[in-house]
Structure 1
Amino acid sequence: MTASCSSRKASPYRSESPFSSRCFVGILLVALLLLLPISSDACGEPPKFETMQLQGVPKPSYSPGDRIYYECRPGYQPKRRPLPISALCQDDNMWSLLQEECTRKQCPNLGDPTNGQVQYTNGSILFGSQVHYVCNDGYFLIGTSILYCDISESTVNWSDHPPICEKIKCKPPEKILNGKYTNSHKDIFEYGEVVTYSCDASSGTDQYSLVGESSLTCIESDKWSSDPPQCKVVKCVYPYVENGMIVSGLGQKFYYKATIVYRCNEGFKLNGSNIIVCSANSTWEPEIPTCIKESTTPSTQPPISSASVSTPPSSQPPIPSVSDSKPTHPTMTLGSSHPAEARDKRKRGRALAWADCTQGPSVALLTKVTSYL
């Protein structure tokens, strides 16, 4: 279809445009005709499927009577054999109905590994599925733990070789200075096996304390449950508290994890924790408390004698006197023992002592002097 515009004789009274209006209308009509749909005797693009693909190279157009053939995509196989999978371009320019005719291929069966299990994520071994391998307690996995059913050349197969489960074993744990562990003669320790550390006897005046976990367990291949402990001297200073007393944990030396419980004398209140522990760095945790005087009205009760037994020890020789001793508690039962404070006859100072109640609730007999103040 063509459009032509004949030239007209130009008027001597007006200028003529390069294209006349009649020419412009003709071109517009041609363009509109080209935009109108053109009916043809042909089918549209061949239908597409998830499991199938068109055989060969598609044609530019298909006429009624043309037949196209499909094949299964990689990883799939026909549901029925040996019928060809095809579609026909019909007289109404529509393709004949065609459904998915392929199904997923299946990977080889997998068995449980020795000392392990295989878990199917979707309960099948079809193309696209995956399996997870896990080992029993006491065993560790060597290889790939997750396998996929994937395309392998013209068929499907697992993405890797199945893994194996090996028994967990540990090398001997570390040796420690001034200590040892049980079964140290062994070269290999099995999963779950436990070794226990202990400290040697000290050659000095202070004993060794075991700081850390005393027992270690083989939990993974060459991995123990924690780092080995240490054997070292841990000794805290005497936890003296002015205007207070130790009611539990009194001793001459205070080693690792020694625990002290305090109580303040009457008229004083505790500032801090009443329980402290000797920590691994030879300091008390929390800090040693203090006893501060209470700002209250005087009590109408008669005064109760109470001696502090938390005074630091002295190097003076003990020369105690039974008559000069006094109990640290207002009442003592017959046969009981209590910390007491004593003075010697030479006025050399005070001493920490143990008083035994021997003649009733008020008379005490000094039986042992522990140290001088």
Structure 2
Amino acid sequence: MRVEAGRSALEMGSAVGLCSSPRAWGCDWNIARLLCFAAISWVLMTQMEVGAWTYHYGDKSDYSWEVARNFCRSFYTDLVAIQNQREIAYLNSVLPHHSTYYWIGIRKINKVWTWVGTSKALTKEAENWASREPNNKGRNQDCVEMYIKRKEDAGKWNDERCQKKKRALCYQASCQSSSCSQRGDCIETIGNYTCDCYPGFYGPECEHVVRCKNLDPGPDCSHPLGEYSYNSTCKFQCQEGFELQGLDMLQCLESGNWTAEAPECAAVKCPALATPGRGGLNCTHWHGDFTYNSTCAFSCETGFVRNGSETLECTALGQWTGLPPLCEAIKCPVLDSLSRGQLNCSHWHGDFMYNSTCAFSCETGFVRIGLETLECTALGQWTGSPPLCEAVKCPVLATPSRGQLNCTHWHGDFTYNSTCAFSCETGFVRNGSEMLECTALGQWTGHPPHCEAVKCPVLDSPDRGQLNCTHRHGDFTYTSTCAFSCETGFVRNGSETLECMALGQWTGRPPRCEAVKCPVLDSPDRGQLNCTHRHGDFTYTSTCAFSCETGFVRNGSETLECTALGQWTGRPPRCEAVKCPVLDSPGRGQLNCTHWHGDFTYNSTCAFSCEMGFVRNGSEMLECTALGQWSDRPPRCGAVMCPGLAAPGRGRLNCTHWHGDFAYNSTCAFSCETGFVQNGSETVECTALGQWTGSPPLCEVMRCPKLRGLEPILMNCSHPLGSFSYGSVCRFHCTQGYFLNGTSRVQCQPDAHWSDKMPTCQEEEAPYFKQVLLYMGGGAVALVALLLTGMLIALLIKRLSDKEEEKTLLNPTSDLGVTGVFTNATFDSNL
């Protein structure tokens, strides 16, 4: 292991070059600047090199996980990927301890811990977490650090926030794109790498290919990796007439064995052939008994001939070129029993075959002419001609008129056992025996018959029609023709013309005259159909009357009739809903209608509603009746009314009416006369509920502070509107020996204040002062002046105190309706 403390100038230049274009790092500006500083300090990195795999760690700066990874990927391969426990132990032993530890290449991606270099999930077996880790505090500890030389859990992992700063632990991979000959997975090891070869390859670099044994020449092979090596495929096929025994395609497997044994070609087999009865079989086999190209020749014994191919060959399809032949006995001409004679034969190999013998004899009345016995030879011929038995003759018969005569003469024209059949021409029937036979006595068994025309059933004129017939051989007989026609409004259902056929049947059934049909009518929607059918449903002269349900009227003819042309006298009518007059929304209201059969038609319902503050005057719901009239008159929306208001006593009322006197939205303002105050709302408004927003106010008289008289002052008051209220007047005077200091009369004003302050009564002191002056002279004058000055100052202070007291007086709370006289009168602030 070597530790390098510096880098060449070339490496330094590369780092500085990266700082000149920080966007090359693939991160934002600030992170790029950090990476630039890291790149410059890269020359101070300590490198541990073991073989081809090297570890690199920084000893100058700490980075966030993203910056650390960008740094590793820029100068090396990636953040280190831990392979095994041996590598963990190695790293823990050689790396220096650092307080912030080292980032490694694991991160949580989509809630799965993943090796970022391979994008493979961390398996349970490969986990190396420290105790009680990962705990993922706050659910954002998505990056992994490795404890190096920690007192506890050395070499273990811990999850951390990715923004924390730690040392970068990088690795330089030893595996290259050409490693393992691209035939296996390159697995990094400490100091080297190993190759995990793919199936079918072996060797340190997976450079060798597994081989299978060579196959015999013949198959069509493909060798993508070398002759008869792994993945070589060979296809087998056989020549015509041979078939493959085994798989037609073999492949060289990773084990060095073919998928199966090499197949063989075997000749196609045909079914085995057997020697035919009374014959022989001679075969030639080239590839085995009864296989492809085998040929077999067939032969037969004397008196027998081959029925089938002489030679058969086995084809490539495993079939013979034909069916095996049979050896059949040679046939002689079949001998018939003689008319009025007997034939008695012996057959050894089948009827009238080789070696068959036949004996002839004649019945009474017949004489044999020829050999009695014949034998079938190997040439297929009898040993002689068959004999004849000649019979008795009968009179010659003639062909009947309109008929034919067909005779069978077994022993000559019109001879014994001759039979004559009589038949008639088409359309005629025989009257007499069908067959006559010539008897042994030379007579026929009956008289010759004659031919009469065939009769057909008598036809009648169809109902509502006519019949016109032509008869050539008698009424309603063979070739008679009958034409049918129908009355107006009826059409023929069947043939127009019938002819009597030779079998006594007409060429068809007699037609019927059916009423002309009109298109079937349906009841109109919301209506009924009532039809009268004289000749069938919806046929000629059918009449249909239309009617409509209640609330609907007919649009079209009331009655239609089916004409002789199959058309109705008009189009079917429609039932349309009765219409009512169109309704409009009432003033200050809305209209909501439901139309079942069209706008404002029968059964339409319209609901009326009014705006807030208005009430409906009339029915809430109207319905269009069957008479085209609404169930009631449309309602109107009238403003909600509030109770009428009157001006309060001693007050005035001023109202604004938008929708009628004292109706919704009307506003009324109240005011009071001078000297009266309003107790209640100044303005009220009529709401949508028909209520005022408040109660009408009252005009209450203004009250001044209550006055109280105490000796020596005497008070006399008048109260026209209530005790000490607006308009009350109080007069004052003093008892003997006192004089009035202030006004003698006060009045309660509109602002609830007295017109002046209450006066006081003072003693008359002038005589006393005069005596003093007489005795005291000039000095007394000065003293009196001084005393008077003091008294004036005291009076001024008292006046100011009285005014302050007057401001704090309360309004009177009792209404005294009497005038009282008091002495020593003062303001009563407690009332």
**In proportion to residue count, which structure has more helix?**
2
Range of TM-score over shorter length:
0.3 to 0.5
TM-score, length of structure 2 as denominator length:
0.16
Which of these two proteins has the greater Rg computed from alpha carbons? 2
